[in-house]
């Protein structure tokens, strides 16, 4: 039974578990998503994967795949700079071309391929999407949109050649390819990007805007409510006396507060 369960749904369930336990918090921050929003989107994708919307006799759109494409567009809209947006779109074009070449030389029928297309297309889209898009947002957008472009190209091929067939845009095997490609692209961007950041001692700042640099850095810990309420207030007589005693005496109590 598990062998027949879509790999895309399995991957989404694994990702949702990681999000629930806070493991994917850093990635979600980079993609401008909260934990709740990400889980809600995953639920929508899983539920939508069982809903097919017939558009014509040859086109069927899967609602889950449509939600994933909408997420890719949202991620692109939240890119830090115009340059990143342009690069993500260019990366999607490059990744789509890589998929077209892969489909051309690997064979149109699954039995003619040395590997199941459900694996090869996400691998190609994920790897090329990361290499071309580089950022987490750009890689995700490029991988997802490239798989979508392959579905659309398949429709035009059938329409022009007169071959009978139905294209499931974002559905059937394409749903797995769509989801796995996006996850793999973000995973590569996170692992390789995190490694490079650690090696160079933080995110690259040269030639980047201050707002983008601020977003790339780790968020600062929030202040305690008590500290915020007392900020800007003059200390009382007892607090002044306590501060003077600390200046005259040793600072062991202060060190104890810091390391407690």
| 71-75, 124-128, 233-237: the lowest-pLDDT one | 233-237
The Cα 100–Cα 148 span in angstroms is 12
Average pLDDT of the residues in 43-67: 90
Q: Is residue 237 part of a domain?
A: no
Q: Is residue 185 part of a domain?
A: yes
**166 DSSP 8-state letter:** -
b vs e for 123-142, b when ≥16 Cβ sit within 10 Å of the residue's Cβ? ebbbbbbbbbbbbbbbbbbb
User: Would you tell me how many other CB atoms lie within 10 Å of the CB of residue 34?
Assistant: 12
CA-based nearest residue to 84, from 44, 136, 161: 136
Q: Do 88 and 133 form a contact (C-beta atoms < 8 A)?
A: yes
Strands (E), 63-215: 167-169
Average of per-residue pLDDT values in the chain: 75
Q: Is residue 82 part of a domain?
A: yes
Q: Is residue 197 part of a domain?
A: yes
Across the beta sheet with 52-54, the strand order is 52-54, 59-62, 167-169
* Residue with the two structure tokens 């998503």: 33
The Cα 19–Cα 13 span in angstroms is 10
CA distances from 107 to 115, 159, 198 (A): 11, 19, 42
Looking at the structure of the chain, the number of domains it has is: 1
Q: Is residue 65 part of a domain?
A: yes
The confidence score (pLDDT) of residue 201 equals: 59
- Give the predicted TM-score (pTM) of the model: 0.71
- Using 50, 70 and 90 to split pLDDT, how confident is the model at 237? low
- Using 50, 70 and 90 to split pLDDT, how confident is the model at 229? very low
First to last CA, the chain: 52
CA-based nearest residue to 130, from 78, 207, 182, 68: 182
Structure tokens at 80: 């830090």
Residue 37 has pLDDT above 90, yes or no: yes
The Cα 112–Cα 153 span in angstroms is 20
Structure tokens at 68: 């994933």
Domain of residue 193 covers 8-201
Q: Is residue 243 part of a domain?
A: no
- Using 50, 70 and 90 to split pLDDT, how confident is the model at 216? low
In a 3-state reduction of DSSP, which class is residue 242?
helix
pLDDT in tens, 165-204: 888 888 766 788 888 888 988 988 888 877 776 676 555 5
Q: Can you state the percent helix, strand and coil of the chain, rounding each to 5?
A: 70, 5, 25
Q: Is residue 25 part of a domain?
A: yes
The confidence score (pLDDT) of residue 112 equals: 54
Q: Is residue 151 part of a domain?
A: yes
The Cα 146–Cα 143 span in angstroms is 5
């Amino acid at each position: 039974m598990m062998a027949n369960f879509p790999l895309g749904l399995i991957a989404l369930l694994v990702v949702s578990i990681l999000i629930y336990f806070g493991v994917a918090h850093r990635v979600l921050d980079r993609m401008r998503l909260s934990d709740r929003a990400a889980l809600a989107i995953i639920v929508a994708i899983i539920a939508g994967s069982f809903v097919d919307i017939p558009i014509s006799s040859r086109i069927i759109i899967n609602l889950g795949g449509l939600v994933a494409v909408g997420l890719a567009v949202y991620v692109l809209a939240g890119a830090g700079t115009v340059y990143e947006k342009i690069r993500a779109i260019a990366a999607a074009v490059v990744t789509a071309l890589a998929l077209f070449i892969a489909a051309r030389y690997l064979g149109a029928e699954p039995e003619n391929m040395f590997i199941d297309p459900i694996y090869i297309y996400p691998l190609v889209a994920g790897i090329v999407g990361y290499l071309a898009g580089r950022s987490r947002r750009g890689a995700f957008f490029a991988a997802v949109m490239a798989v979508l472009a392959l579905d659309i190209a398949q429709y035009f091929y059938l329409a022009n050649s007169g071959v009978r067939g139905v294209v499931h845009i974002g559905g059937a095997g394409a749903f797995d390819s769509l989801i796995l490609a996006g996850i793999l692209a973000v995973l590569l961007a996170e692992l390789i990007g995190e490694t490079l950041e650690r090696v160079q001692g933080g995110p690259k700042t040269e030639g980047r805007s201050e707002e983008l640099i601020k977003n790339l850095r780790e968020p600062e810990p929030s202040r305690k409510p008590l500290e915020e309420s007392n900020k800007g207030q003059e200390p009382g007589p007892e607090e002044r006396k306590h501060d003077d005693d600390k200046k005259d005496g040793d600072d062991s109590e202060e060190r104890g507060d810091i390391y407690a």
